[in-house]
Chains A and B, each alone.
Chain A
């Protein structure tokens, strides 16, 4: 087995696993952090972002100076996984673990050379589709003049005070709706614990990873090996079905990726900090802006938020603005099979798993597709707004930041650990609005990993190199992932794994077992030995041993001669042939050399080696060869 890492971000994995017969791509990374290099895309023109200067020395007028940082006023781009090192047409299957990974999928499947099949759980497909549609909608709403590529020169972008972390030459435009739809047609929906067999050679099964609705970890089994793959996983209580760790115990290799971006995370503290801030802001009649992804943690936040806001005043509206807001809410309520027991048991009452539909009916949660039309007429302050995108460059959030930016009573609360303020808030640093960061990170962190590994006991841990380098925890102590034995991989590198067992599992015809007559070679031997003969079918990668009798019923087949034991003498052979009324004579007999026996009637001769361990039948006619082979067999013992 070979593993190649195609992603430079351990929390956005993209790994190619090569087996002798099948190539499996694990997840499809797409880096959206690149968006922060671009100037925010406003929906309504903002004077603040229009009158910006550019550095004279380069003379590139689309590089805008803002708060001592530089931003590109061009169409924002993202960075998909780097596929140039691999043969895309050789990918047989793609396993997509969660909605974040699905977002990167079209960059792979919509290449003309892609021929594989994609597997993901039903909720990953549906919720992921919504996230993709939202992003697509945001991108389609952007009106920017085309710019040239001068800024992509190394000496330019590397000189930004806020220099991008990856090379902009690898960045690409986001896909369009048609590509998105085409891509999703290639995805096959599966259930947890449903085992799929590929080419009779590889079996894989998705198990809950506890991170999001439908998020998966994978078990990949070959004839001889069990490989576990951990994508974004959580061992905390959430609305999603808890992680099924027991299915990934004692793997031959366990691939660990997608750890928390905060080494020691405390999502509960973040949530209570967030609500404290919300309550204080609303009490002071300020507005609360929550830039957020349209699925995932926000389902929990709605339930807490309505509770909290109701305690202040039932008149304070809570808005959820997204082109796919309605679907995001409705879909969450149809996946009982994929939720925690507490949530899924509600359907037996029957009630919807999440309270948000009730909030919508009761007008406590108000849903709008965008800020135009009804929203602009109906909205009142103070209020709470959930909207995207958390990168603060595209989507409705840009508008709210510009609109509420001048009032210090307002607050924008960042919760997505993928978009921390030091990376995304640059263009807004000079605004009056408060910016708070309460990262709600539920993925496995460095303190949880050792416990999980202790429980899973993999025979080998494979992990991104980054996880073995110390990071600082809250208390300032160094945290690393250390397990024995472990091997690390990094972007662009290929690891070759020795194939552990050199045996393969073969289905055996019961008749062959019945024919087995095991005998001990020596009296006091505790082992018995017996020869077996048959035919092996390797058709369609399924290995099966068929007894001679059964095989011969099905086809005309060559004989499988039994192995012979012992030494042959010319005398024995002549005697045996004589019994069949065939005359034979020795024509050459020099001591220490081969003996040649001639059989005139069969137009043949048999050459016997000096030690009697080898015999050669020289003859033109296959029938006669058979007679002589039979005679030799009679003279000797079968193994």
Chain B
């Protein structure tokens, strides 16, 4: 039995450094190549020595696929390809290919300039790495080689996010990356062909236990809190990724400001923000239908109320709202501003997305009142709000996806162990599927049934189909012979008659016969009744010939109310049907 092997090098019972290896039919594929923001040592990258034992990865991998531009999915890519060494194809969607190098460069700067990391990939590495990237369009079937194909589907998590279907012969795996099953203000909902029936669905489970409260309520809550804080003279810090939730929240806040005619300034980290807007414009096809339709007339991302931020504004006494990068407060501008604002109880920080354990963001969410940043202890007095705006599917969405694609097995990644366990039990109970949730480095192995096709002559097929009296044609009796060329093992399917001839033997035919009682023998009337079963039946003076003599009806010597019915063994299931038809009395209309 062929086996499908999967091992997560990252994202196994964890969020961060997503990197999953799959091995199918002799092909090895790496799904995502992310970094972990909770670690600053070797553990920040997946352990690539697992693949090659330490050397370069060429020859060990057939391709690498990146699902979207978030660093926990692509942050280790230049390290993997340029420092460890990999020259094969790397696939990602067009927007991802455009945005990944920007985020990698941003990440590199935070690491080397703020943290002083000297052993890190360089700008040159990022450039070389990106040269190996092949951009793919949604739903385009890309042939990696003669056997291996990949196909991207819209995932709706961030601009350009995709699920990937990896197919090798009859085996297939669908990897969701991060996905969102509900459309939002700027992106559409994940969209995958229903009934894909992959051997394995590898799905993220960030919100495995959350059934998110209605989106509107969450948004109202967010607006209310922001508004209260600025009314009270406080400042609101919203740490965000440059692309993704930032745009969603900006649209939300912009329209609220417009509606209430508010004058408090809203700022956005400059540079990245403008570039982000440009990317959205170039890839407008990857946003939602509404934005696509109106993009010629108005750009959703040209904001009236939102202005670029300057670090000098941070010391201003007046209230303001600031969207600042990075989203997990692990360095850069958002952390610098946080250090300035965190002691004032009038201020507020809103954490709109998931923060990896170990980051300042995670500590803030956990409610720590004293946080050490760069060898200094900060008192955390500002109001902290954690609002889940990151666009992941919740438990309902994950269940929906499983129902839609009908996988044969399910594997969970990109989530916390206990939460996965909860959902695992739910899925196993409700859909009767085997669910795996391997830890990093733990291999799972799935038996796959190969799909084998044979070419069968049409006459044998139509003969078989004609033997089944039911219209659904789900179980048509089939008989034939296989002739195999002993040397090449090539085989061909032929009829039993041809096989008998080939073997120099004669077939023995068995027929059955039964005598049935009838009211009268009128062959014309009987033929009329039976024509619906065989439009080509032959009427004779003493009987009827059906299905090319496979069923015969004849007179019984000297009997005027009996018919003999003779049938080929293969027509057994037609007997009761025909007998009933022949003996059925015409329905009499009652005169009342």
Q: A-side interface residues toward B, CB under 8 Å?
A: 122, 190-195, 205, 326-327, 330-331, 333-338, 344, 347-348, 350, 352, 501-508, 510, 513, 516, 518, 520-522, 526-539, 543, 545-546, 551, 554-555, 557-568, 612-620, 625, 629, 632, 636, 639
Mark interface residues in B497-539 (1 if CB within 8 Å of A CB, else 0).
0011011111111111111000000000000000000000000
Give the shortest distance, in Å, between A356 (CB) and chain B (any CB): 13
Given contacts A337-B94, A527-B502, A538-B476, contact A503 B511 (CB under 8 A): no
Known contacts A528-B483, A618-B515; 16 further A-B pairs (Cβ under 8 A): A330-B296, A336-B283, A348-B98, A350-B275, A502-B458, A504-B456, A510-B449, A522-B504, A529-B499, A530-B482, A535-B477, A536-B477, A565-B500, A613-B506, A617-B511, A619-B514
Q: Most B CB atoms within 10 A — which of A348, A533, A564, A629? A: A348
| Stretch of B360-368, B385-393, B565-573 contacting A (4+ beta carbons < 8 Å) | B565-573
Most buried by A among B140, B475, B500: B475
Given contacts A350-B279, A506-B453, contact A563 B479 (CB under 8 A): yes
Q: How far is the CB of A261 from chain B (nearest CB, A)?
A: 31
Complexed CA–CA distance, A618 and B475 (Å) = 27
> Which residues on the A side are within 8 Å of B464 (C-beta)?
536
* Cα separation A618 to B479 with both chains bound (whole Å): 24
Contact indicator A614/B453 (Cβ below 8 Å): no
**A-side binding surface: helix, strand, loop or mixed?**
mixed
Cβ–Cβ contact B461 & A504, under 8 A: yes
Give B429-482 interface residues, CB cut-off 8 Å to A.
449-459, 461, 464-465, 472-482
**Does B282 lie within 8 Å of A565, measured CB to CB?**
no
User: Are the C-beta atoms of B505 and A618 separated by less than 8 Å?
Assistant: no
Q: When A508-B454, A535-B477 are in contact, do A639 and B461 touch as well, CB less than 8 Å?
A: no
Within the complex, which residue of A122, A504, A510, A535 is in contact with B458, where a contact is CB–CB below 8 Å? A504
Q: Are B140 and A561 in contact (CB under 8 A)?
A: no
Q: Which residue of A lies closest to B509 (CB)?
A: A614
List 19 A-B pairs, Cβ < 8 Å.
A190-B139, A337-B285, A502-B458, A505-B454, A506-B461, A507-B452, A508-B454, A520-B486, A535-B474, A535-B476, A558-B572, A560-B479, A563-B479, A563-B500, A615-B508, A616-B510, A619-B514, A625-B512, A639-B499
Contact A350 B510 (CB under 8 A): no
Interface membership of chain B positions 548-567, coded 1 if the CB is closer than 8 angstroms to chain A and 0 otherwise:
00000000000000001010
Closest B residue to A328 using CB positions = B296
A510 touches B452 (CB 8 A): yes
The docked-state distance in angstroms from the alpha carbon of A560 to that of B464 is: 11
State whether the Cβ of B496 lies closer than 8 Å to any Cβ in chain A. Answer: yes
Chain B residues, Cβ within 8 Å of A543: 456, 461
Given A350-B98, A617-B510, A620-B515: A537 and B461 interface contact (C-beta under 8 Å): no
Which chain B residue has the least Cβ–Cβ distance from A558?
B573
Our pick among B139, B456, B513 for the contact of A618 (Cβ within 8 Å) is B513
Interface residues of B in 135-164 (CB under 8 A from A): 135, 137-142, 151
Write the nearest CB–CB distance from B109 to chain A, whole angstroms.
19
Bound-state Cα–Cα, A17 to B295, Å: 38
Question: By the criterion CB–CB under 8 Å, are A503 and B457 in contact?
Answer: yes
- Please tell me if the beta carbons of A613 and B508 are within 8 angstroms of each other in the complex: yes
Decide yes or no whether B211 CB sits under 8 A from chain A. no
Query: Are A527 and B481 also in contact (CB < 8 A) when A538-B465, A551-B475 are?
Result: no
CB atoms of B478 and A545 under 8 A apart: yes
Q: Which residues of A contact B485 (CB under 8 A)?
A: 526-527
Contacting residue for A619 out of B451, B474, B505, B512, CB 8 A: B512
B142's closest neighbor in chain A, by CB? A193
Majority secondary structure, B binding face: mixed
The residue from A330, A348, A502, A536 contacting B457, defined by CB atoms under 8 A apart: A502
- The CA-CA distance from A536 to B463 in the complex, in Å, is 11
Specify which of B142, B151, B278, B475 is in contact with A350 (CB 8 Å cutoff).
B278
Within 8 A of A (CB), among B312-371: none
Query: In whole angstroms, how far apart are the Cα atoms of A537 and B484 in the complex?
Result: 24
**Nearest residue, chain B, Cβ from A499:** B458
Q: Is the CB of B507 within 8 A of A564?
A: yes
Q: How far apart are the CA atoms of A615 and B278 in the complex, in Å?
A: 84
Residue of B142, B284, B450, B569 near A561 (CB, 8 A) is B569
Contact of B482 among A338, A529, A561, A616 (CB under 8 A): A529
* Binary per-residue interface labels of chain B (19-59) against chain A in the complex, 1 for a CB within 8 Å, 0 otherwise: 00000000000000000000000000000000000000000
- Bound-state CA distance A564–B101 (Å) is 71
Minimum Cβ distance to chain A for residue B63 (Å)? 16
Question: Are B483 and A527 touching (Cβ within 8 A)?
Answer: yes
CA distance A559 to B570 in the complex (A): 9
Q: A337-B135, A510-B449, A616-B566 are in contact. Are A564 and B510 (CB under 8 A)?
A: yes
Interface residues of B (CB under 8 A from A): 94, 97-98, 101, 130, 135, 137-142, 151, 275, 278-279, 281-285, 295-296, 449-459, 461, 464-465, 472-487, 491, 493, 496, 499-500, 502-515, 564, 566, 569-570, 572-573
Q: Is the CB of B506 within 8 A of A567?
A: yes
The docked-state distance in angstroms from the alpha carbon of A330 to that of B491 is: 57
Q: How far is the CB of A555 from chain B (nearest CB, A)?
A: 6
A536 touches B461 (CB 8 A): yes
A252 to B139, CA, bound (A): 26
Contact assessment for B514 and A620 in the assembled complex, using a CB-CB cutoff below 8 Å: yes
Minimum CB–CB distance for A87 against chain B, Å: 23
A556-B281 Cα distance, complex, nearest whole Å:
61
> Would you call A503 and B455 a contact (CB within 8 A)?
yes
- In the complex, A619→B564 CA distance in Å? 11
**A322: shortest Cβ distance to chain B, in Å?**
13
* The residue from B275, B455, B572 contacting A506, defined by CB atoms under 8 A apart: B455
Question: Which among B135, B457, B487, B503 has the greatest number of chain A C-beta atoms within 10 A?
Answer: B503
Q: How far is the CB of B456 from chain A (nearest CB, A)?
A: 5
Q: Which residues of A contact B459 (CB under 8 A)?
A: 502
Please determine whether A193 and B141 come into contact, CB atoms closer than 8 angstroms. Answer: yes
In the complex, what distance in Å separates the CA atom of A397 from the CA atom of B570?
75
Does A564 lie within 8 Å of B474, measured CB to CB? no
- How distant is B170 from chain A, measured CB to nearest CB, in Å? 9
Contacts of A504 in B (CB 8 A): 455-456, 458, 461
- Cα-based distance from A612 to B506 in the complex (angstroms): 10
CA distance A410 to B137 in the complex (A): 46
Residues of B within 8 A of A334 (CB): 281-285, 295
Q: Which residues of A contact B514 (CB under 8 A)?
A: 618-620
Q: Which of A347, A551, A564, A612 has the most CB of B within 10 A?
A: A347
Across-interface contacts of A348 in B (CB, < 8 A)? 97-98, 101, 130
Contacts A350-B98, A506-B461, A533-B479 known; A191 to B486 CB distance under 8 Å?
A: no
> Separation in Å of the A196 CB from the closest CB of chain B?
9
Q: Which of B140, B477, B478 contacts A194 (CB 8 A)?
A: B140
Taking the nearest CB of chain A, how far is it from the CB of B500, in angstroms?
6
Bound-state Cα–Cα, A191 to B138, Å: 7
Shortest CB distance A240–B (Å): 14
Least distance between B566 CB and chain A CB atoms (Å): 7
Q: Write the chain A residue with the least CB distance to B102.
A: A350
A563 and B455 contact, CB distance less than 8 A: no
Which A-B residue pairs are the 10 nearest by beta carbons? A521-B503, A194-B139, A558-B573, A503-B455, A564-B508, A618-B513, A193-B140, A536-B478, A337-B137, A535-B475
Partner of A616, one of B454, B478, B487, B511: B511
Q: Which residue of B lies closest to A543 (CB)?
A: B461
Q: How far is the CB of A365 from chain B (nearest CB, A)?
A: 16
A508, A543, A558, A619 — which one has the most chain B CB atoms within 10 A of its CB?
A: A558
Query: Across the interface, do B137 and A191 meet the contact criterion of CB distance under 8 Å?
Result: yes
A618 near B572 with CB under 8 A, answer no
Most buried by A among B452, B477, B481, B508: B508
Cα distance, A564 to B479, chains bound together (Å): 12
A529 to B475, CA, bound (A): 25
Q: Are A347 and B515 in contact (CB under 8 A)?
A: no
Given A536-B478, A551-B475, decide whether A568 and B502 contact each other with a Cβ distance below 8 A: no
Least CB distance, B556 to chain A, in whole angstroms: 11
Contacts of B476 in A (CB 8 A): 535-538
- The answer to whether B572 touches A559 (Cβ under 8 A) is yes
